[in-house]
Structure 1
């Protein structure tokens, strides 16, 4: 292609693409010729910025430096010999190659033949115009910077990555430090010799590193075992170190060494002598020994687990702890099986629980372990707690002396078997005595054992024990017999849980024994819950049996002295028993428990009319109504407490005599209500009628009497406990809720679930003494309860409409000539003023009841109504 002049009109139009293409070609040729030199420069800069030259011996640095210089010069000379500057013609040729038909070359061609022919000249001009149009569309050519064939191992990218790491994690000023490695390189320092120093506290302290150059004060406080690092720059010997904080003895490094490292172990002086030196009086803060202590009495649950609260603290944090349990042999009552010297046993060591989150410098935790099967169960022991910090220091608490909390057996036979197991584990010398006692126990099984299974297990265990004893019992055989005796004791204690009546009796017996033996509050609470579960199970079994047998009973056919009770009555009796136990009135609680036991023994479940004419849904509605009323009472009590807090001298509103209390607790148990169970005329009935008089007398507001010296709403703590009890009652009602599978039933369950969550929030707020928040949560619970009752009423109404034939009972009321009241109800029998019929008649009785309740609420919110009417409406809301 001929060279184009600079004033050529074609190249004038392509000046910018041409220059860009030429620059790209220049970069392409430079990179191809000098990429090895560029890679070496990047690698050297990366090493200098990262300070690698300061970590290697000076000889190695010099050798590598000389190699890098010669390699760079050689590769640079090689690249210079191969380099060719891209000219204008080269750029035109490169640009022309990218265009179809090579228009730039065509524009500089001359017509060789036919120049004199007009037609031929016209064709040539058309060809030139077409090539000019193509050339005008030319764009710069991108350079080809690929070096894969010249650098198959991608060394250039390795050098580039090292340079980027040096820029991010290193310092560009480190490059200048290489001059100090040349002869006389340190002499030109303007400030003369200089130094740097750091104090690094132990990592477990969490304290930051101190930069000594920034500390101008003469006083320095550091934790024990801090690490001091000093660097001296400049002429060796110009700066020296003098210190008394490390306590080092023997052969010591020179005080003028450029690098100094030591650990601070004691208070003293730290001084740097020389130009720009500094001195400090160092005070060492000793790492305190961890402290740990028992903060409360050890408790035991009904299942036998021990709960021991403790408090631990340390200045920097505790990493672990142990509890060592040792037998207090001097305090053991050495009688019976314990009179023999015990076999040696190592103390029991268990790890203490540590907080998963939060600080470990000061925390409270509880050690929860089950030692029921240990030979020292319920024997005097010493529990020694120890805590360990990150420095390895161990702090111990004073030995805590107690009987090792473990499961206690309230059944006498189970307790006897457990005692023989303990004696066998105490010493194998007791094996003969244990076999004799077990044989004596099984001598008359009909008088002792309630279960044939338990008796057979005892006989099998006894036979194996006697066989083992004949040839000398080994440790493995002893452990086998101990495990069999433990299983037998559990069977005797818990009984056959598949038998509802047996389970109920067992729960009552265990609770009675626990009250006699002074069990802990936690044990009694768990046993009380077991009694409630057993009672519910027994009632369900009776009800199912009555349905299967087709038993129906008319309440009018019952004897006049027959006592009738509902499920709510039983629950109130058990609440009464638990309340008496909480007050410490164990004699009264035990008497009430015996009465409950007699009633349950004589109980029969009736169906249909025998259940007071109430279906399962009606009983559920009644229970929810009671829960709603109790929740309203709790909310009122919380509101009065909040008022008293801001008006200490104010007086609470006085209740009307005989009016039900507003704190959510009902009056005494009704005796004329038809329930799920009934009792015969036996003596237990009379006792049950008077059980409400054994304890406390009702207050003026119709509630059972409260604890002596305490008002019903005494403090948020008592309100929180009652709120918790109400939440548990709602949970029990949710389990028995009818209407499952229907949209209305599911809506009722969802609303009651929201009510339960709101009750939980109210309880938490009450325990935190936040009465305002508690009132808000209680309001949410009340509204959710109302929605649940409305949804349940709709579900029951639809279910009743599906089951009842149309027109049932339409003309039943008019067939007789009885007189009716203005509401259309039949008058009471025997001249009574009231009526047993419901006030609402028709199919959708629940919807009408809801409308009536909404109307009462609306009117009670109108303050302009007379005070007497408002008081009446308020009593209606409390009742319904």
Structure 2
């Protein structure tokens, strides 16, 4: 760029004085860094070595050799940098700033018009060009310097030196650098300057406390017991000596004049250095207090027996672990009926206490979450004691608390009887004959309604025959006792929960009987009885709906869960209001109006049945079918992931049987029984309906199942089987993706993109399984499940948008025209039935379930006995969520 006396150029440069100065300063910094980075790297490295006291660890000759080499290197780098450094000029700064502007306006403003000076048109064009460049130059900003040195320092030596300096600042001392002046070949300088000393106190590692530099301490201070004291004497040997009473040593004590002393602090005492510059300190040894634990109030038990017991723990340096022990309080047991016999010996229940993943463990509050409903001591008095330990293996215990072992409660009379006999059987094998007699008595000639299904009655008779066979042949072993107890538990759950379809049919039958009685003019007593029957049937139906929704809480991300919760909440209110209205009309003698209200109630239940049928079977709605197919794929993928995770556990814990690791609960809720583990022996493939697998189990005897298979049989060909099932699941997802309904909008595109991501993740999981890389496969499977959830959510939003634009389709077909407007027969929003996640995710149950899952992950991650690979996986889950 040539010098110019152009007035416009000078005015623009004057206005850009500040950004031009900043750009010029950046050029100076850029060239200084490029020229002198080796120099300051050497200087920083030398300072770090001196602050860390490395010169005290090496012979004097090596120290001075390195000092000379470092000095020569620094001098050489300084000369080399000075020769390379070129002071930037003002024109270079202008060119740097002009180079980032479009069209280089500053260079243009410095130019002169070479031709056409006498032409009016050319001059006008030139002035317009200059004006445009002037406006463009007005927006010029300072240019940032390029301080990157990766090309000149490919090994990052400058960062190594900087890291060493940071470590020296944190763990070293500036005073250590001064001792280098006392070092000279032959120790002549040290002798000339006189003797000196330095020392450090290093607390035990578990305290996580910093080291103390003894030279900086006053006359009295405290240190934890077990701290290591290190002293070094420099100069003439014997000029300095040490006397101490803090170690309690009486044997093998080295001479007090040794140049290096090392001992631990075990008690209160004094430490004195005699000689030139000597000092004396009074040291207080801080004992390591044992940890403490206490059981907090606020025990909560869910409907299925899962307890949440808060507790508090503390330690001066942090709690390392702990256990919760439940022991049978035999002196508190009401020894009646089946409990009069002497109980069989059983080990106490020992559970690992959950610890905080992050944060301070010195004082914290956590919650122990566990479900002990199937334990023989369920609902019996137990003593709960918490035991915590610290890093020194000191233990502390909480005060024992007597409580009934939290467990699930059964309200159905027959289910409660079965559970009571199960308890007696597990209490003592000598109760076996009494249990068989009680079961035979309660099941003899049962009244109508005592058993909710013939299946339940037949299961009870099978269990009874097995028990009597074992009694007759005196072959009731521990294994057969556990098998029978499990069969009785399954029977009680079946009797308590029943079948949701049967409950709905009983409610419809009660409606029809009440309607028939009203038409035939039955007595008030008969109508009141039938009304109460209808109310009881409705309550039973709503209770089973509520329990089903809670049991399927792990499917909170799926639209069906939101539909079930929404339907249960509104159904409870609507049906109760309707029945109260019917009863009020009958009490007032307005039977015609009561009959009409009952017909509306029947119509409502018919619409409910149709809606449930569409939700359960898909109906003719392609969108609903697609949602159900994706939900089934998600469940199958979850089962595959659970099984892969269990296989990974078994690789690192060969002593555990397949799928029987304590606390490893899959979708089925049993120990180690995930969805695929419980289906593997039945040949169920991904995408197959679960009901098809259950039908094969009904022919098994209670207590028999896949758990009797040997571990070797389960592990044979496992990796190949998993990869083949993963491939089949990926193909099924591809088929579903191609068969998605034609939904437009951004939500539809998001759904397709999410399913495509899920397919790629499944393909990665399949390749990892074929390569026997289980950790990688689990990660890819987790990505696939996340993508599937995103796709289902987007598809639900797209279907909701379509249902709004086409109100005559979908769920509206089951409504009475003009009766419910924008709502379905149960008063619910159509958008909710179409899969709008906005109404579902706002419910507190979603957050409650998320909290429960997070607590469970934390509990398992606090179990130090689990394999390292499992703990690493759980921590990655906590980092993600």
Query: TM-score, length-normalised on structure 2?
Result: 0.42
* Higher RCO structure, 1 or 2 (CA under 8 Å, sep 6+): 2
Which structure dedicates a bigger proportion of its chain to helix? 2
Query: TM-score, length-normalised on structure 1?
Result: 0.42
Larger Rg computed on CA atoms? 1
